[in-house]
Each structure stands twice: as structure tokens, then as C-alpha cells.
Amino acid sequence: MSSGLLASVQNLFASLLGLARTRLDLLSTELQEAMAHFALGIIIAVAAVLLATLGLAFVGAAFVLVMAPEQRLVATAVIALVFLAAGAGLGIVLQVRKRPRIFEASIGELQRDQDTLAP
């Protein structure tokens, strides 16, 4: 094998390794961003749900207290149904909510690499 061909092969492998390293760096950055975004989203969601639940609990307690004693059981049942409906609605909203696609930039870069290298 001639030294020119060997040098070309070495340069090709060096380029491929550099390309792989760049893509892995990008993937690592995206993973860190996704984890931070997920953690922040969880913290905000939990805080919002706790505060909303506490507020609804106080409203419900006030509602029960203003009712006549013989109607308090019905009022409590109605409030419980409202809480269950709110919980179900929140669960549906969280399931339907569009989440950002993880590794989208890395996938796009790899697709561009593939398109560039394709004959």
C-alpha cells in the first residue's frame, strides 16, 4: 500500500471520528437539555397541582361550612366529584400535551450527513 493511499485512509478515518465526536457532543447537549427541561417541567407541574389542590380544598371546605348541616354530606360528595373530574381532566391534558421530540437536532444532522455521503 502506498504512503499516499495510507495517508488518505488515515485522513478519512480521522474525519469520520471527528464527525462522530461532533455528533456525540450534540447528542450529549440535547440529552442534558431534555433532562433539565423535563425536571423543570415536573417541578412546575407538581407545584401548580399542589397549589391548585390546596386552593380547591379551602373553597370546598368553605362551601361545606356554609351549607346547612343536613346538606353537608351532599355538598361533600359534590366536591369530591369535582376533585375527581379535575384530576381526570388534568390527567388527560398531560397525556395529550405535545412534548418536544428528543434528539431532533442530532437526527437532523445525521440525516444531512447521510444525504451528503450518499452517492
Q: Does residue 9 lie in a domain region?
A: no
- The more confidently predicted of residues 101 and 43 is 43
Q: Which amino acid type is present at position 36?
A: A
What is the per-residue pLDDT for 50?
86
| DSSP H or E run through 16 | helix 3-66
Q: Does residue 16 lie in a domain region?
A: no
Section 86-98 average pLDDT: 80
Q: Does residue 6 lie in a domain region?
A: no
Range of the domain at 92: 24-117
Q: Does residue 64 lie in a domain region?
A: yes
What is the per-residue pLDDT for 119?
63
Q: Which residues of 18-54 are buried (b: 16+ CB within 10 A; e: fewer)?
A: eeeeeeeebbeebeeebeeeeeeeeeeeeeeeeeeee
What is the per-residue pLDDT for 1?
56
* Number of separate domains in the chain: 1
What is the per-residue pLDDT for 66?
92
What is the per-residue pLDDT for 100?
66
Q: Does residue 8 lie in a domain region?
A: no
